[in-house]
């Protein structure tokens, strides 16, 4: 981030006229989030939920687009976990990596979860286990 004389803003915060465009970007991000999962878009004052289960730092997240209540997390504890956002419960534990899980991706139909971080990519069938 580049700081100007006032110590605020970044190059991305300025539009082509040199005016502050951060509010435009904020609005665009909020609109994109509403398309993704409007029922889960809340302000911090309205909702806060903690998902407990990993014993290491969480390093990756993937959210469901077809199933907005689905969240998958990867961690330095060598595992990935599937969560139900509505209940906050862990719905699946994906074990097998020998190092931290650094990336988590779901297939477009959300049936398959891909995790990576050690020397391999693991493929998990979310439906059949």
- Contact call for residues 18 and 24 (beta carbons, < 8 A): no
- Contact call for residues 104 and 94 (beta carbons, < 8 A): no
Q: Which pTM value belongs to this model?
A: 0.64
The model's pLDDT over 12-36, given as tens digits with 9 standing for 90+, comes to 333 344 444 456 766 665 555 444 4
Q: What's residue 49's pLDDT?
A: 78
Least-confidence region, from 6-15, 32-41, 78-87: 6-15
116 confidence band (pLDDT: 50, 70, 90): very high
Q: What's residue 59's pLDDT?
A: 95
Q: What's residue 128's pLDDT?
A: 80
């Amino acid at each position: 981030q580049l700081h100007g004389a006032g110590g605020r803003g970044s190059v991305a915060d300025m539009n082509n006229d040199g005016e502050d465009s951060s509010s435009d970007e904020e609005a665009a991000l909020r609109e994109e989030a509403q398309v993704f999962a409007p029922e889960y878009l809340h302000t911090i004052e309205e909702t806060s939920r903690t998902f407990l289960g990993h014993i290491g730092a969480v390093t990756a997240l993937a959210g469901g687009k077809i199933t907005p209540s689905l969240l998958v997390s990867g961690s330095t504890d060598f595992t990935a976990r599937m969560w139900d956002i509505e209940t906050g419960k862990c719905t699946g534990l994906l074990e097998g990596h020998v190092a931290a899980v650094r990336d988590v991706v779901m297939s477009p139909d959300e049936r398959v979860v891909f995790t990576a971080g050690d020397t391999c990519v693991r493929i998990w069938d979310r439906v059949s286990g």
